[in-house]
Every structure is written in C-alpha cells, then in structure tokens.
C-alpha cells in the first residue's frame, strides 16, 4: 500500500510545479534553458543558451523529437532586437507550496478512502 501511495504522489508532483517562466531583462549571459518569443509570436526553447555580442545563441531540440534521447539539437542564433521576450525558468515558491499541499491532500484522501473501505469490509 505504501508503495502505491508513493507512486501516486510522485506522479502527481511534477518538477515543473515548482518553477515558472520569468521575464529576463536584460538577457542573461548564459542559461541552461531559455524560452524566447520572436517578433512573429513563435516561442522557442533554447538549451545551453549564451549571450554572444548582441545575439542569443543556443541549441533547439526539434519539436517532434523533444522527448526522444536521439533528438539532434539545432544551433540557433537571434539578435536580441528580434526578440519580444526572453524568459528563464526560476523557482516559484507559491507554485511549490500549492503542489506540496495538493500532494498532501491526495495522500490524505487515499488514506481516508482505504480506511473507509477497510471499515466497510470488516
């Protein structure tokens, strides 16, 4: 039973619940991941991004292959002037709080449900 509860909690607690995209002004010198919004509205995620001169340079994983280990990254470079937004993932305390409270509530409901089922069967 404990293993099942732990599995459910782990599945309901994604790491993205603790972070959010935050606007970066000016562009950071380097970042493991940036999300840039181009002038035409397209959004791209750049990995291992760096500010080189007046350009943001990074590696983009093709959208169809983002989750595949065999994805071949493509080097992309954009002048900072061409970008509407530059965002970086940062820790978000509020989202983390609600994720922890939500996970706790799910665990409590599971325990309560199991107790009610045990009472009904006895």
In sequence order, what are the residues at sequence separation of 6 or more whose Cβ sits closer than 8 angstroms to the Cβ of residue 49? 28, 30, 31, 32, 33, 34, 56, 57, 58
Higher pLDDT, 2 or 56: 56
pLDDT at 91: 73
What's the rounded Cα separation, in Å, for the pair 116 and 109? 10
Domain boundaries, the chain: 2-121
Residue 67: pLDDT band (50, 70, 90) is low
Q: Is the dihedral of CA 29, 83, 89, 76 positive or negative?
A: negative
- pTM for this predicted structure: 0.55
Give the pLDDT confidence of 7-23 residue by residue, as tens digits: 655 555 555 567 666 66
Give the number of other CB atoms < 10 A from CB of residue 69: 5
pLDDT at 76: 92
Q: With 70 as the cut, is the pLDDT of residue 115 above it?
A: yes
Q: With 70 as the cut, is the pLDDT of residue 82 above it?
A: yes
Q: What mean pLDDT do residues 43-69 have?
A: 80
């Amino acid at each position: 039973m404990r293993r099942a509860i732990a599995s459910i909690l782990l599945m309901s607690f994604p790491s993205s619940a603790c972070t959010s995209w935050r606007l970066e002004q000016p562009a950071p010198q380097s970042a493991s991941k940036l999300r840039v919004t181009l002038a035409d509205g397209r959004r791209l995620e750049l990995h291992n991004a760096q500010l080189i001169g007046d350009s943001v340079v990074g590696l983009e994983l093709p959208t169809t292959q983002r989750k595949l280990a065999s994805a071949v990254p493509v080097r992309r470079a954009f002048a900072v002037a061409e970008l509407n937004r530059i965002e970086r993932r940062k820790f978000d305390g509020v989202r983390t709080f609600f994720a922890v409270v939500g996970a706790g509530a799910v665990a409590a409901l599971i325990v309560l449900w199991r107790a009610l089922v045990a009472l009904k069967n006895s």
